[in-house]
Amino acid sequence: MEHFYLENISKYQSLVDALDPCPKPRISQGMPDPNMVVSVRIRPRSEDEPLPSATFPRSSQENVVDIHDLYNHPRGTPILRSNDYQVDRLFNSNSTTEEIYENLVGDLVPFAWNGGIGTLFAYGQTGSGKTFTVSRLEELVAETLMKGNLKGERDIYMTIIDLAGNAAFDLLSNRGPISLLDDSEGITQMVGAVEHPVLDMEDMRALIEQATSFRRTAPTLKNPASSRSHAICRIRIRNRADGSDGLLYLIDLAGSEGARDVAAHGADRMREARQINISLSVLKDCIRGKAQAQADSATWPKREKLGQKLPHIPFRQSALTRVLKHVFDPAGARACKTVVIACVNPSLADVGPTKNTLRFAEMLRVPGRESATTTNETSPDAKSAAIQWTNTELKEWIRANVSFEPHSDAHYITILN
Ligand SMILES: Nc1ncnc2c1ncn2[C@@H]1O[C@H](COP(=O)(O)OP(=O)(O)OP(=O)(O)O)[C@@H](O)[C@H]1O
C-alpha cells in the first residue's frame, strides 16, 4: 500500500489542493460533558517520513479533523476518499504538551487534591506519541503537586504498574510480579505493588524515570521502542485533616497495532496484539458506559423508582478495567473526571490506523444537551447539571445517535422525562 501512495504523491497533492476549504459543517452534538473530555493530539510528521500528511484540522470548524485517503480504484485513476471526525478538543502538530496540560489535564490535579478521581488515558496506534505525551504530562503534574500552591496539607503516594495481558508488574520494584485480587468488597487490589511516599519533586522525578526504564518494550514495525503493555501511574493524595484521599491516574495505553504490523512478528506478537485490542475494546465500552451513566445521572432517582437497574459497565472483563473499578463501577459514589487523548500520526502511510483511532475517539463521546450548564471544574462536590430533556429533544438525540427510530412519546416520557 505504501508503494501505491509513494507512486501517487503528486496526484494526491493535487486532489487535496482542489478540495473545498470550507466543507459542509458537522452538526454540533451539543455541549460535551465537562467530566469526560475526548481529545485528539496530532503529532508532527517525522523528517524521514516520505509521505505527506493525510490529517487536516479543519480551519472553518473547531475540533473537527478531515482525513483524506487515496483509494486505488480498480478501473480508473486513484480517487480521494474523505472522512471527518469531531472530538471535544483538538491539538494540532504545533501544540506543545505544556498547552495540553494547561487546557486539558491541569484541572485533574486540584480535582484529585480535593478528593476526586481524575483519570487520563493516552490511546493510539503504536508510534503515535502516547509515551511522549504522558511522560511530559507526568512531570507537569508532579510540578503542580509539589509547587505548594494547592490549599491544605496532603501526603502523596505513587505506584506505577505495568499490565501485559492478565499479568501485572510493579515498575517501581524491579518489575516484580503483582497479583490482582478482589477483596471482600469486590475491589481489585494490586497485591505486592509498593506505594512510595513522595516528599518532593526530585523523589517524583526519580520514580517516573525508574518506571520508564523498566517498561516492557519490544520492537514493532512502526516504533522500534514500542510499549506492549499498559502503564498505569497512580498518585494517591491523602488529606491529613480527615484521612480521605483523592486519586490521579495517568495511563499510557499499549499501542493499538493493525494486523498488518504484527503479522511480520510471529504468533506471540499476534497473540499479544489480540489481547491488547480486546482490553482496549473493553475500555471503550467502559468509558462510554460511564459517560452515558453520568449523562443520565439526573434521571436516576426516577428510574430507580420504576425498578430499573444501574447501567451495565463491563469493567470485570479485563485486568485494566478491573484495576480501575472505582472509575467505572456505576454503583461507585466518588466524583470522577476523565480525559482521553487519542494520539495520531498524520502521515498518509498511517491513514488506516488514524481513522480507527479517530473512530474510537468519536465512539467515546456521549453528547450532552446544548444548553447544559457546566459543573465547577475543580470541585468534586459539584453536582452535575440537571439534564432535563424534553421529549422532542430526546427523540432528536435518538435519531442522531442510534440506528432505530424512536417509536412512542409515552415510552420516552415515562423513562426519561
Ligand atoms: N508531539 C511530538 N513532537 C515531537 N516528537 C514526537 C511527538 N510525539 C511523538 N514523537 C516522537 O515519535 C516517536 C514515537 O513516539 P512514542 O514512543 O511516544 O509513541 P507511542 O505512541 O508511545 O508508541 P508505542 O505505543 O509503540 O509505545 C518518538 O520518537 C517520539 O519522540
pLDDT of residue 410: 31
Rounded to two decimals, the ipTM of the complex is: 0.98
Average pLDDT of the segment spanning 222-239: 82
Q: Locate the domains of the chain by residue range.
A: 2-386, 388-417
Q: Which atom of ligand 1 is nearest to the CA of 220?
A: 26
Which string of DSSP letters, residue by residue, matches 6-47? HHTHHHHHHHHHTS-SSPPPPPP--PPPTTEEEEEEEPPPPT
Q: What is the reported pTM?
A: 0.83
Nearest CA to ligand 1 atom 2: 43
CA of 329 to the centre of ligand 1 (A): 32
pLDDT, position 1 = 66
Quick one: which atom of ligand 1 is closest to the CA of 124? 21
- Nearest residue (by CA) to ligand 1, atom 11, is 129
Q: Confidence class of residue 386 from pLDDT cuts 50, 70 and 90? A: very low
Transcribe 241-275 into DSSP letters.
TT--EEEEEEEEPPPB--HHHHHTTHHHHHHHHHH
CA 128 to centroid of ligand 1, rounded, Å: 5
- The rounded Å distance from CA 330 to ligand 1 centre is 34
Dist. CA 364–CA 286, nearest whole Å: 9
Ligand 1 atom closest to Cα of 43? 1
Question: How much is the pLDDT for 404?
Answer: 41
222 CA: nearest ligand 1 atom? 26
Are 343 and 314 in contact by the 8 Å Cβ rule? The answer is no
The annotation places the binding site for ATP at 124-131
Q: Provide the pairing of β-strand 89-91 with 36-42.
A: parallel
**CATH code for 2-386?**
3.40.850.10
pLDDT at 123 over 90: yes
> What contacts 188, CB < 8 A, 6 or more positions away?
180, 181, 182, 322, 323, 325
In 3D space, the residue among 96, 116, 130 whose CA is nearest the CA of residue 376 turns out to be 116
What local confidence, expressed as pLDDT, does residue 224 receive?
Answer: 60
**Ligand 1 neighbours by CB, cut-off 6 Å:** 43-44, 124, 126-132, 220, 223, 225-227, 255, 343
Q: Which tens digit of pLDDT belongs to each residue from 131-147?
A: 999 999 999 999 999 98
